[in-house]
Amino acid sequence: MTDAVPPTGTGPLAKREARLAWGLLFPTLAAVSLVVILPLLAVFWISFKPVGLANLRPPTPIVREDIRGDLEAPGDAATLRYRLRNSSQDQPILGVTLSDAWPEGLEASELDPRCAIAEGRLSCDFGDWEGGAREQLRIPVTATEAYFAGPDATASDPALTGQAQNVLTSFDFTLENFAQVFDGSEFWAVLGVTLFYTVFGTLGALIMGLFAAMLLNKSFKGQGILRGLYLFPYVAPVIAVAFAWILLFDPFSGSANALLIQMGVSQGAINFFGERPLALIMVTLFEIWRYFPLSFLFILARMQSIDHDMYEAADMDGASPFQKFWYLSLPQLLGILSVLFLLRFIWTFNKFDDIFLLTGGNAGTRVLTVNVYEQAFALSNIGAGAAVAVVIFACLLLFSLFFFKVMSREEGL
């Protein structure tokens, strides 16, 4: 009797289940691709484009029509005027043409050689326009009896057409945006501020969250109320807590300055958010205070899942509280601490609203995300702002690769 041999390979039923699974996952994968990948590709595309806020719309020819003079009786003379311009100051428009219904009963005394009137329509060919081109088309006209029985001379809307290249969709690329970003020492100073804010803000939030979790890991009266209070900085609206910090540390009416002066610690008011390097330290402390509750929640959940038999055995062996934390708790928390460090580092590196609300990026608190805003909107250089965003993406990608390859040794990371 021969032993049964298990089937090898993938059977028809398994293939059908795999196709069904991929079919069910496809809408989710497509949605994620549209939400994440397409905007990322758009930022990369724009970062190599010499594009500003004024270039977001393609150049278009613009025309306004009016009539100069009063046409009240047959034989009256006036001037039909068309004011034309290129909406872009630097992009040309090719093949500009004007077409408009010619008012019945008006006779043109003189006509521009680029224009012609045929079959009741005025047609003009202006050729190619350079950026910022402007001109006026003046046509002297005389009214006849038929004019007063028809519509007004400006009743019809003139059509001005032309072909222009959109800088966003063209295949003209440049490295000037990245050259502008890395030019001089400003970028490296901003990068240093960003790293200081990110590293110390992340480590401070983790350490403070760890201490808060150790404090509330024990059962005592009022534990639930204290947990709720610990969550307040994280769940409160950022604009509200930022405004509260600004009022609290205001150099003229802030309670913190008044308390320091009364205690004799300071001889005068301190501008906490307006002096270097104190402003950077304050925004980092705000980052720690606002986001330690997230670390606190995850660490506390992990601590409550640790087997208490180990601590009882350590108590019997005479281990001190520090020894129990260092040799029992900390090894069990390394996994969640690693994940929190990675997430908090990425989120803090991308943080914009906190610093912008507190200092606006002034007093040595200008980070890369604030630099993106200033380049794109304050200086109207969308391409340079996108280039800074690409640099942020590259920095975070390198950090993530380094983290997973070198620092993280926990299973499942």
Domains of the chain, earliest start first: 61-163 (2.60.40.1170), 184-380 (1.10.3720.10)
pLDDT at 286: 96
Question: What are the distances in angstroms from CA 199 to CA 192, 223, 331?
Answer: 11, 31, 22
Task: Report whether 69 contacts 34 (CB < 8 A).
Answer: no
231, 293 in Cβ contact below 8 A? Answer: yes
* Helix/strand/coil for 6: coil
11 CB-side CA count, 13 A: 5
Tokens of 387: 């280039």
Structure tokens given for 2:
């021969």
User: Looking at residue 124, what is its pLDDT?
Assistant: 94
Q: Which residues contact 228 (CB under 8 A, 6 or more apart)?
A: none
CA distance 95 to 61: 10
Displacement of CA 363 from its chain's centroid (Å): 22
* pLDDT of 4: 56
Q: Please give the C-alpha separations between residue 58 and each of 14, 131, 262, 380, in angstroms, as whole numbers.
A: 53, 12, 62, 16
Whole-number pLDDT of residue 305 = 86
First to last CA, the chain: 49
Amino acid at 213: A
Q: Among candidates 141, 121, 162, which has minimal Cα distance to 74?
A: 141
How distant is the alpha carbon of residue 179 from its chain centre?
Answer: 21
* Phi and psi at residue 96, to the nearest 5°: -80, 125
Residue whose token pair is 């958010």: 273
The reported pLDDT for the residue numbered 130 is: 92
The burial class, CB within 10 Å (0-12 / 13-18 / 19+), for 190 is buried
Spatial neighbors of 104 by CB under 8 A, at least 6 apart, are: 120, 146, 147, 150
β-bridge partners, 78: 141
pLDDT score at 411: 47
> Residues 66, 158: contact at Cβ < 8 Å?
no
How far is Cα 219 from Cα 411, in angstroms, rounded to an integer?
31
CA angle at residue 201 from 196 to 206, to 5 degrees? 135
Q: Model pTM?
A: 0.78
pLDDT of residue 17: 83
Mean pLDDT in runs of 10 for the chain (413 residues)? 58 82 87 84 89 80 90 88 90 92 88 91 93 92 86 84 85 87 84 95 95 86 84 92 93 88 86 92 96 93 86 84 85 89 94 93 93 89 91 93 74 48
Contact 355, 361 (CB under 8 A): yes
